[in-house]
Amino acid sequence: MSAANQFVSQLIRAANGVNSVDATEQQRLLNGSVVTIRDMQEQARSANGTAIRKTITDLQDLIVAAHLGRATGEQLHAGLLAAACLIRELHISIDRQYPGRH
């Protein structure tokens, strides 16, 4: 399994058990999502840059809210799933552009 797929799995597991994931792990996953999405966006040369930037901004807002203890479990759940979906989509896009690259 690729690193991207492993990270997506971590995000989904955390989203499904958001109440059992501690604040440090939530921060690590959210920050890691932003970094991963930015890196993958460069590789994918995605035409959907506006939507990706919005997702990154939403994740950054969620990171701040979580740090301040103002993020709800529902917001964290939605943010982690949004990150997982976008990383998965970018991974597919990169695989299509560079077949056989693993």
pLDDT value, residue 1: 63
Longest CA–CA span in the chain (Å) reads: 43
Give the CB-side neighbour count of residue 26, counting CA atoms within 13 A. Answer: 27
Q: What is the pLDDT of residues 59-77, one digit of tens each?
A: 999 999 999 999 999 999 9
Residue type for 55, please?
A: T
Tokens of 4: 């991207």
Q: What is the pLDDT of residues 1-59, one digit of tens each?
A: 689 999 999 999 999 998 899 999 999 999 999 999 999 998 887 667 889 999 999 99
Is there a contact between 92 and 8 (Cβ–Cβ < 8 Å)? no
pLDDT value, residue 68: 95
pLDDT value, residue 79: 97
How many whole angstroms separate alpha carbon 68 and alpha carbon 90?
30
How big, in percent rounded to 5, are the helix, strand and coil portions of the chain? 80, 0, 20
Burial of 3-29, coded b for 16+ CB within 10 Å and e otherwise, reads ebeebbebbbebbeebeebeeeebeeb
Given pLDDT bands bounded at 50, 70 and 90, which one contains residue 85? very high
